[in-house]
Structure 1
């Protein structure tokens, strides 16, 4: 069950990323994100998009992240296909990315996760993320952070 990753190739990956994101994120993100390529523009805003590859080198998901400072990274999006969920691929991919970022000088990673996404929260807790802020009426997301 070894996975690997590679950098995003927009002309090869963007249609897949859009479809995967619409399938798994549409109930967490506002409707405007799916109009006029807004989501792809959002991905382009991220400093890096890493494609997760499964055991047969097939694309199974992605992580988009941004450097906030020389030592802080924010995970913008992390999505894995349903057929690969619950099998340890997301955990393995995020752990490898965490080690890679640590090697590049990151000392902390933070993210927001929707309050309804309990499965993702479980993975983040297992990886060492800690809760920093609970959802509010205006923002239904948890803010999580980890030191690396």
Structure 2
């Protein structure tokens, strides 16, 4: 099975943005960062700020993760500022659709990203992962990511 990254098309982007805005709001509430009543508004604002020109926002790359040249298995979004002093890109989003999880495709997709990023002149990839997402944390550790900052909270 072969995984490739292809530029996201406008129809895919619209669906992606609708889904990811809701998902991000839920995750921020689950993490205790946002209140439920404010989450959707804050999530919409976040994506509007990050992608003011949608797919055409400078230095943002949104790809569909394609399995065997035909099935869309998920998505991947990075921001890569060409003049970054560490030649670093930030992974804003990475995910596989439910039916593609647990089959090794995530590791293949991250390997494809490594190759694509290297070809773009990127020398460092960074990302944020919610602490409660143990599956994602394990995946990132297994593919070479290391913790660089840890934010901790407690409820009083």
CA RMSD of aligned residues (A): 2.4
Which structure is higher in strand share? 1
User: Which of residues 43, 62, 70 is equivalent to 2:75?
Assistant: 62
Residue number in structure 1 paired with 2:145? 129
**Could you tell me how far 1:19 is from its partner in structure 2?**
4.4
What's the CA shift for 1:23?
A: 6.4
Give the corresponding residue for 1:39. 47
The correspondence of residues 1-148 of structure 1 with structure 2, limited to 5 A, is 1-10=1-10, 12-22=11-21, 24-29=23-28, 31=39, 32-35=41-44, 39=47, 42-43=50-51, 44=54, 45=57, 47-55=60-68, 57-68=70-81, 69=84, 71-137=87-153
Could you tell me how far apart the structure 2 residues matched to 1:15 and 1:126 are? 32
Q: Which moved more, 1:21-30 or 1:117-126?
A: 21-30
2:31 corresponding residue in structure 1 = none
Cα 1:35–1:17, aligned 2, differ >3 Å: closer, same or farther?
same
Take 1:40 and 1:52, find their aligned partners in 2: how far apart are those partners?
23
How far 1:35 moved relative to its partner?
Answer: 4.4
- Structure 2: 5+ residue stretches without partners: 29-33
Stretches of structure 1 lacking an aligned partner (at least 5 in a row): 139-148
Partners of 1:54 and 1:20 in 2: CA distance:
21
Task: After superposition, give the CA deviation of every residue in 1:50-101 in whole Å (9 maximum; x if it has no partner).
Answer: 1101236122211110114161110011121111111111110111111111
**TM value normalised by structure 2:** 0.74
Q: Which has the higher helix share?
A: 2
TM-score (norm 1): 0.78
